[in-house]
């Protein structure tokens, strides 16, 4: 079992490194792990510079700048997680919701750690069908969808094989950043507006985070439930 003090240590280090890099740390930081998936849920984090830019409507610029810095932070956090849990971090993702002033760092570990077995209080098949339905509206139905239930508050959904031909061509031509911003706006608008997640979960969805790995043609979605 992973002791709570180890998870608290990861949360504390995350807050510290964000404070160092951005000049302001988050109001709260919570780490949750189940098997080979780890999430760090961050609330109340906007740096003074970002605050000004967001007020001026420069959301795209803030997204790009934060992505560069957070990628660097994740490299450092990767080492802390590996030492703390004696595992390797195979993949990591991150996303931010500026209206709710929250973010999520998501990591996939190379092997599962020992955690308490938990049973979802919803039907994963229903969730995967709904994710497939909304994804197919925006691009195409994923080749593979997997649900990872971390706790009563956090659920991850992994999508593999979602890129269509024109998206792959844009990536090859060096338009990854533009495509990422477009997909971020488009997919989230459909998932927030048209999906029936609250009916499936039988509880409100407080936040939804999405990130992509274009190289591997994958995406990871993080749900925060009330």
pLDDT tens-digit readout, 4-35: 899 999 999 999 999 998 888 899 999 999 99
Is the pLDDT at 1 greater than 80? The verdict is no
Tokens of 196: 């029936």
Three-state DSSP at 35 gives coil
Three-state DSSP at 209 gives strand
214 and 161, same structural domain? yes
Q: Is residue 9 part of a domain?
A: yes
Rounded-to-integer distance, Cα 217 and Cα 163, Å: 6
Distance from first CA to last CA of the chain, Å, rounded? Answer: 25
CA-nearest of 169, 124, 150, 146 to 219 is: 146
pLDDT at 180: 87
182 and 88, same structural domain? no
80 and 15, same structural domain? yes
pLDDT tens digits along 122-180: 999 999 999 999 999 988 999 999 999 999 999 999 999 999 999 999 999 999 988 98
Q: Is residue 36 part of a domain?
A: yes
Q: Supply the range of the domain harboring residue 87.
A: 4-109
Q: Kindly tell me the sign of the dihedral angle through the C-alpha atoms of 195, 209, 85, 112.
A: positive
183 and 96, same structural domain? no
pLDDT at 224: 97
pLDDT at 28: 94
140 and 102, same structural domain? no
pLDDT at 218: 96
pLDDT at 160: 97
133 and 80, same structural domain? no
Output the pTM of the full model: 0.92
Is the pLDDT at 204 greater than 90? The verdict is yes
pLDDT tens digits along 211-226: 999 999 999 999 999 9
pLDDT at 164: 93
Tokens of 131: 């994710």
pLDDT at 122: 93
pLDDT tens digits along 98-131: 888 899 999 999 998 888 888 888 999 999 999 9
Using an 8 Å Cβ cutoff, are 147 and 223 in contact? Answer: no
Q: Is residue 192 part of a domain?
A: yes
96 and 19, same structural domain? yes
Q: How many separate domains does the chain show?
A: 2
Which of 84, 109, 134 finishes a domain?
Answer: 109
pLDDT at 115: 80
Using an 8 Å Cβ cutoff, are 24 and 102 in contact? Answer: no
pLDDT tens digits along 43-77: 998 888 888 888 888 888 888 888 888 999 999 99
pLDDT at 25: 86
């Amino acid at each position: 079992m992973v002791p709570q003090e180890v998870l608290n240590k990861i949360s504390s280090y995350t807050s510290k490194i964000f404070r160092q890099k951005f000049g302001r740390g988050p109001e709260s930081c919570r780490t949750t792990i189940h098997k080979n998936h780890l999430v760090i849920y961050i609330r109340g984090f906007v740096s003074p510079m970002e605050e000004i830019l967001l007020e001026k409507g420069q959301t795209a610029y803030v997204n790009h700048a934060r992505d560069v810095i957070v990628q660097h932070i994740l490299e450092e956090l990767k080492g802390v997680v590996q030492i703390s849990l004696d595992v390797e971090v195979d993949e990591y993702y991150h996303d931010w919701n500026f209206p709710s002033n929250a973010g999520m760092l998501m990591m996939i570990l190379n092997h599962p750690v020992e955690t308490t077995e938990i049973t979802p209080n919803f039907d994963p098949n229903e969730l995967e069908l709904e994710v497939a339905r909304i994804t197919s509206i925006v691009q195409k139905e994923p080749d593979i969808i997997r649900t990872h239930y971390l706790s009563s508050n956090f659920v991850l959904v992994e999508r593999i094989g979602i890129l269509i031909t024109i998206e792959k061509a844009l990536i090859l031509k060096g338009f990854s950043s533009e495509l990422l911003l477009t997909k971020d706006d488009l997919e989230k608008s459909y998932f927030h507006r048209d999906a029936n997640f609250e009916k499936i979960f039988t509880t409100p969805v407080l936040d939804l985070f999405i990130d992509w790995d274009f190289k591997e043609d994958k995406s990871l979605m993080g749900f925060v439930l009330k």
